[in-house]
Structure 1
Amino acid sequence: MPPVFRRSPAARAPRRRARLPWWAVALPVVSFVALLALVAHSSRASAAGVPQGLAPLLEILARIVRSGA
């Protein structure tokens, strides 16, 4: 007699959509912004009164994260 293959109850249940953790979305965004800031930063062309470097950008991102936005 051939073996009988039965599906488990879990196999019959509809599949749920997998949810990404918050950091799986936040890390690529932060990486993109940091790289964009590094590429856009130029020591030859700078506006008067604008803070240069990555530190101001990181401070803004830290404020955003602390506020929970």
Structure 2
Amino acid sequence: MSAPTHTRPPRATRGGVDSRLPWWALTLPVLAFVTLLLLILNPADAQAATEQPALAHLLERLLQLTVG
């Protein structure tokens, strides 16, 4: 006679998913986003700054793509 085996139910049936991210998984994308946002808002600090602000240029491009 074999001994009964005790198996644990899958995690999904125990009340949800338990996923943990390392600290850098959120920190690095947030840092990159903030850095790029600051470069867009203040293009004078960027190396390849132009006369026209980047945000205005981006909005102009979006307008061109949506209108025609």
Alignment TM-score, normalising by the size of structure 1: 0.38
Of structures 1 and 2, the one with the larger relative CO (CA 8 A, separation 6+) is 1
Alignment TM-score, normalising by the size of structure 2: 0.38
Looking at secondary structure, tell me which structure has more helix per residue: 2
